[in-house]
Amino acid sequence: MRFDTVIIGGGLAGLICGIHLSKRGQRCAIISSGQSALHFSSGSLDLLGTLPNSEEVESPVQALTALAEQAPNHPYARFDAERFVTLANKGAELLREAGIDVIGSAEKNHYRLTPTGAMKPTWLTFGGYVHSASPEELEWKSVALFNAEGFLDFYPQFLADEMRRKGTKCNVHTFNLPELEILRQNPTEMRSANIARIFDNEATLNELANQIASRIGDEQAVLLPAFMGINSQGNLKYLMHKLNRPVAVVATLPPSVPGLQVQTLLRRYFQELGGTYMLGDTAQGYQATQDKISALYTRNHGDIALKADNYVLATGSFFSGGLVATNTEVYEPLFKVDVCYDSEREKWYDRDLFQAQGYEEFGIATTPTFNAQRAGQPIENLYAVGAALAGFNAVKQGCGAGVSILTAIEVAEQILSKM
Amino acid sequence: MMTEHSEFNFEQCIKCTVCTVYCPVAAVNPLFPGPKQAGPDGERLRLKDKGFFDESLKMCLNCKRCEVACPSNVRIGDIIQAARIKHSRKGPGLRERLLANTDFIGSMATPFAPLVNMTVGLKPVKMVMDKVVGIDHHRTFPRYAFGTFEGWLKRKRKKQSKFARQISYFHGCYVNYNNPQLGKDFVKVMNALGIGVQLLEKEKCCGVPLISNGLIDKARRQGEHNTALLRQSIIENNRPVVGTSTTCTFTLRDEYPHLLSIDNADIRDKIDLATRYIYRILESGEVQLHFKKNAPQRRVAYHTACHMEKLGWAYYSIALLKMIPSVELTILDSQCCGIAGTYGFKKENYPTAQAIGDTLFRKIEASGCDVVSTDCETCKWQIEMSTSKPVVHPISLLAEALE
């Protein structure tokens, strides 16, 4: 099989990289070992929320200099402010082209509401989610929060308490529908994605609208868990129209319905652009000639190699198997490229769970152009992007999605510049 | 207390529930516990006490889409099927035996094909099958051919052995008894590539309907028989084995070792699917296919069958279809059509099967295609019974386009 670029990993970074390359006429293949971390999405994409010294970030672009000083190995430290903004805007543009409605900018963070009611700084939020310009208050002074009866992956009372602290009165309700009665026959599997499907049916959505209408008073807005349909678009608009006020959603525990919709839209856009997406396959071996990768072998394709001019590792971190940790070392399992990690094992983690964990910053060591390397020698046509990279703590710094998107576009442009 | 050992990697499950999101049954039938609970969660409990086995596991289609979606490479589908094999107390009845013994029924039916086809198509017969046997009356059995594919190819033996390069063809029950034309088309394409086609010594059904209908001992016996034939062809005669059916091919390669404990590691890589085998030859550049000029354009929509998705080989069928100058190709989103072999024929499964396939049927109708193409025979039955479009195997489309 012959491609221009083969990308290993089909999550946010791999798809953005593949989309950018395909738009410029490259023939790309993405190999994905199962579904991606987008299925655990919060409903927002973070760019940079907190500096390593714990200072909260208002403007990611303005915090860039301080970040580079405090974390010189951070992937962002390779970008100047102009490049940073260009890449971020390009990322938002690609998402919108794929049909994903996002709001926000790299110049100024806004705030997303977490499932437990906290406000966290973020970059882009998917359409329909509760968000606010300020961490201190919501847009509304009173809201009605509706949860599905028996849905356990959502905590209305936490949300109501936290909102009250921010000066918003929150009345909590539960709703019931005949379709939910059916789902409840299997209470442990009453998950967001299964509930979301019932709202693909317009009659069910209409019944929900009627129930809410009969129970709300003069609250300024209606809030619901983020499970308002899987294949249907515009359900929130329909409810807003019927209820004559803003209707917004709050993230649930996984699986994330908007996350899986984003995954589907990105994959579809990539395929429409001519890309080949191979799900459920795992890269297992390769051939190299001198300092270049010449062929890749996967579990499903066996002896039929995937050949390309360039290869991109978008394999993610420990969870997805992009990095593997043993008791003594951390390694990248496919190409055995150089990985940055601390040789003293005590520094891998902190016993206080809520502190920054050392292992979070472990990852693939790359050149300034994101080429992977072996024994310090760059591999000319092998790049690494996203969560597999070293030098950042996605959880503490709130920068995981941003690193994935910005490095994916940067690498795509590196590849295109060689043509 | 001794805890039993599981041969499966259920401990790799981190309970992320992604499998349940992509389970076609869980999406339409809440009575099915879903792959996570039926698979790795349940396995942990069943090891402690087999009383935790639940007959609802038979609602699993064995489509393996949970395994394709799993980020942790857990063999969820295998866990569920193995649990059914190990623990199910409900033995197969008349219906299960009727549906599972495709080989025996086929060999009885083909000599009397016109009579059999007419009889099973009669409304009163369908009602009896529905009420007495439990085979849904909406279903039409695939027509039997008058004369088997094996009989036809045996008559061509001389011509086929003249080719320098040889393969063995695992035709499966469907080609042999119902659609010999697909086998003939396969022979035409292989001959055009300079390859002769041989039968295996005495092929038996791959066993997939036996496995899904609980006739495990028989499935294992047939699996062992077939594996011996495959070994003879691949190792002794140096002839790779090629199949046109995704499910047969998948079963010979993966279900034998995973579910029937038949070791085939020495020959697995030489058991191939027709479109992949042909792709490999064409990619090497040693042979080229010559297509008819000015053949009428056909709009084709390709449907990826579940076991094709699991094999990960849709790429090859799509690549071959794209080579045909007269084909205008649309690729349908990969999803289950709902029939899953004999599953959708059972009365109690009919509504689930149709609900699963519903969005696919709509997309097919909306696609504006002339024909649907897929590598799976039971998807063909389901799509033909549920849409207005005919379904043709990629190999038949290829054969038709050749000069």
Residues above pLDDT 70, as percent of chain B: 99
CB B205 within 8 A of CB B220: no
Would you say residue A149 lies in a domain? yes
Q: What's the pLDDT at A172?
A: 97
| Same structural domain, A81 and A146 | no
Asked, as a colleague might, if the bond just before A255 is cis with ω within 30 of 0, I would say: yes
| Same structural domain, A362 and A284 | yes
Closest to A315 measured CA to CA, from A287, A297, A334, A288: A334
Would you say residue A290 lies in a domain? yes
pLDDT band for position B16 (50/70/90)?
A: confident
Would you say residue A146 lies in a domain? yes
How far is residue B202's CA from residue B225's CA, in Å, rounded to a whole number?
9
Is A188's pLDDT higher than 80? no
Would you say residue A116 lies in a domain? no
The reply to whether residue B70 touches residue A34, judged by beta carbons under 8 angstroms, is: yes
| Same structural domain, A93 and A159 | no
Interface check A178 vs B, CB under 8 A: no
Would you say residue A120 lies in a domain? no
Closest chain B residue by Cα to residue A38: B18
The reply to whether residue B280 touches residue A304, judged by beta carbons under 8 angstroms, is: yes
pLDDT band for position B152 (50/70/90)?
A: very high
How far is residue B364's CA from residue B376's CA, in Å, rounded to a whole number?
16
The reply to whether residue B71 touches residue A255, judged by beta carbons under 8 angstroms, is: no
Interchain CB contacts (distance < 8 Å): A and B: 94
Which residues in B lie closer than 8 A to residue A33 (C-beta atoms)? 71, 73
Tokens representing B161? Answer: 């052995």
The reply to whether residue A271 touches residue B331, judged by beta carbons under 8 angstroms, is: yes
Rounded to a whole number, what is the distance in Å from the CA of B234 to chain A's nearest CA? 17
Sign of the torsion formed by the C-alpha atoms of B12, A402, A29 and B394? positive
Looking up tokens 């009356």 gives B137
DSSP string, B45-109: HHHH-GGG--GGGGG-----HHHHH-TT---HHHHHHHHHHHH------HHHHHHH-HHHHHHHH
Which residues in B lie closer than 8 A to residue A304 (C-beta atoms)? 276, 279-280, 283
Tell me what the pLDDT averaged over chain B comes to.
Answer: 92
The reply to whether residue B72 touches residue A197, judged by beta carbons under 8 angstroms, is: no
How far is residue A300's CA from residue B311's CA, in Å, rounded to a whole number?
6
Query: Residues of chain B whose C-beta is under 8 A from some C-beta in A?
Result: 14, 16-18, 20-22, 26-27, 30-34, 36-37, 67-73, 269, 276, 279-280, 283, 309-313, 315, 331, 333, 359
The reply to whether residue B17 touches residue A254, judged by beta carbons under 8 angstroms, is: yes
Select from A197, A260, A320 the Cβ nearest to the Cβ of B27: A197
Interface check A252 vs B, CB under 8 A: no
Would you say residue A118 lies in a domain? no
Task: Answer with the one of A218, A250, A282 that is the final residue of a domain.
Answer: A250
What average pLDDT score do residues A235-243 get? Answer: 96
Neighbours of B381 (CB within 10 A): 22
CB A60 within 8 A of CB A123: yes
The reply to whether residue B69 touches residue A182, judged by beta carbons under 8 angstroms, is: no
CATH of the domain at A378: 3.50.50.60
| Same structural domain, A317 and A279 | yes
| Structural domains for chain B | 10-87 (no CATH), 94-133 (no CATH), 149-284 (3.40.50), 298-401 (3.40.50.1860)
Task: Answer with the one of A229, A250, A271 that is the final residue of a domain.
Answer: A250
How far is residue B45's CA from residue A362's CA, in Å, rounded to a whole number?
36
Is A145's pLDDT higher than 50? yes
Select from B32, B36, B312 the Cβ nearest to the Cβ of A300: B312
Rounded to a whole number, what is the distance in Å from the CA of A375 to chain B's nearest CA? 30
What average pLDDT score do residues B208-228 get? Answer: 94
B239: buried, middle or exposed (CB in 10 Å: 19+, 13-18, 0-12)? buried
Rounded to a whole number, what is the distance in Å from the CA of A150 to chain B's nearest CA? 14
Number of domains in chain A: 2
Select from A191, A194, A301 the Cβ nearest to the Cβ of B312: A301
The reply to whether residue A300 touches residue B20, judged by beta carbons under 8 angstroms, is: no
Interface check A11 vs B, CB under 8 A: no
What average pLDDT score do residues A86-91 get? Answer: 98
| Same structural domain, A350 and A275 | yes
What average pLDDT score do residues A396-400 get? Answer: 97
The rounded Cα B176 to chain-centroid distance in angstroms is 15
Residues above pLDDT 90, as percent of chain A: 94
Tell me what the pLDDT averaged over chain A comes to.
Answer: 96
Interface check A276 vs B, CB under 8 A: yes
Segments forming the whole domain that contains residue A32: 5-106+260-417
Would you say residue A255 lies in a domain? no
DSSP string, B256-301: HHHHS----TTTGGGEEEHHHHHHHHHHHTS----BPTTPPPEEEE
The reply to whether residue A255 touches residue B17, judged by beta carbons under 8 angstroms, is: yes
Rounded to a whole number, what is the distance in Å from the CA of B115 to chain A's nearest CA? 44
pLDDT band for position B275 (50/70/90)?
A: very high
| Same structural domain, A240 and A269 | no
CB A57 within 8 A of CB A109: yes
Q: Name residue A113's beta-bridge partners.
A: A119
How far is residue B85's CA from residue B346's CA, in Å, rounded to a whole number?
19
Pick among B9, B15, B16, B21 to test the A interface (most A CBs inside 10 A): B21
Q: Residue A6: helix, strand or coil by DSSP?
A: strand
Is A210's pLDDT higher than 80? yes
Is B1's pLDDT higher than 50? no
The reply to whether residue B26 touches residue A194, judged by beta carbons under 8 angstroms, is: yes
Interface check A304 vs B, CB under 8 A: yes
How far is residue B126's CA from residue B142's CA, in Å, rounded to a whole number?
13
Highest mean pLDDT among A76-80, A350-354, B120-124, B337-341: A76-80
| Same structural domain, A148 and A242 | yes
β-strands A5-8, A324-325: how paired?
A: unpaired
| Same structural domain, A135 and A90 | no
CB A177 within 8 A of CB A207: yes
Closest chain A residue by Cα to residue B268: A302
Would you say residue A281 lies in a domain? yes
| Same structural domain, A208 and A357 | no
B159-180 pLDDT tens trace = 999 999 999 999 999 999 999 9
Between the alpha carbon of residue B109 and those of residues B113, B117, B141, B180, B181, the distances in Å are: 6, 9, 12, 14, 17
Is A273's pLDDT higher than 80? yes
The reply to whether residue A260 touches residue B68, judged by beta carbons under 8 angstroms, is: no
CATH of the domain at A235: 3.40.50
State the helix-helix crossing angle for B180-192 and B394-401, rounded to 10 degrees: 50
Which residues in B lie closer than 8 A to residue A268 (C-beta atoms)? 333
Which residues in A lie closer than 8 A to residue B14 (C-beta atoms)? 319
Which residues in A lie closer than 8 A to residue B304 (C-beta atoms)? none
β-strands A276-279, A28-32: how paired?
A: parallel
What average pLDDT score do residues A263-271 get? Answer: 96
Q: What's the pLDDT at B4?
A: 57
The reply to whether residue A34 touches residue B312, judged by beta carbons under 8 angstroms, is: no
How far is residue A49's CA from residue B274's CA, in Å, rounded to a whole number?
53
B84-142 pLDDT tens trace = 988 887 778 888 888 888 888 888 888 888 888 888 888 888 888 888 888 888 888 88
Is B148's pLDDT higher than 90? yes
Select from B31, B69, B309 the Cβ nearest to the Cβ of A186: B31
Q: Name residue A416's beta-bridge partners.
A: none
| Same structural domain, A277 and A409 | yes
pLDDT band for position B5 (50/70/90)?
A: low
Which residues in B lie closer than 8 A to residue A32 (C-beta atoms)? none
Closest to B78 measured CA to CA, from B35, B49, B116: B35
| Same structural domain, A289 and A391 | yes
What average pLDDT score do residues A389-412 get? Answer: 97
What average pLDDT score do residues A32-57 get? Answer: 95
State the helix-helix crossing angle for B314-323 and B274-284, rounded to 10 degrees: 60
- The residue length of chain B stands at 403
How far is residue B177's CA from residue B310's CA, in Å, rounded to a whole number?
26
Task: Answer with the one of A205, A230, A250 that is the final residue of a domain.
Answer: A250
Which residues in A lie closer than 8 A to residue B71 (C-beta atoms)? 33-37, 319-320
Range of weakest confidence among A6-10, B124-128, B201-205, B235-239: B124-128
The reply to whether residue B283 touches residue A193, judged by beta carbons under 8 angstroms, is: no
Select from B34, B73, B269 the Cβ nearest to the Cβ of A34: B73
Select from B20, B30, B313 the Cβ nearest to the Cβ of A182: B30
Tokens representing B369? Answer: 């295609």
Which strands make up the sheet holding A169-175, listed edge to edge?
A169-175, A142-148, A221-225, A247-250
Which residues in A lie closer than 8 A to residue B333 (C-beta atoms)? 268
Is A365's pLDDT higher than 70? yes
Q: Residue B181: helix, strand or coil by DSSP?
A: helix
What average pLDDT score do residues A201-208 get? Answer: 95
Contacts for A119 with CB less than 8 Å, ≥ 6 apart: A111, A112, A113, A132, A135, A136, A166
| Same structural domain, A281 and A389 | yes
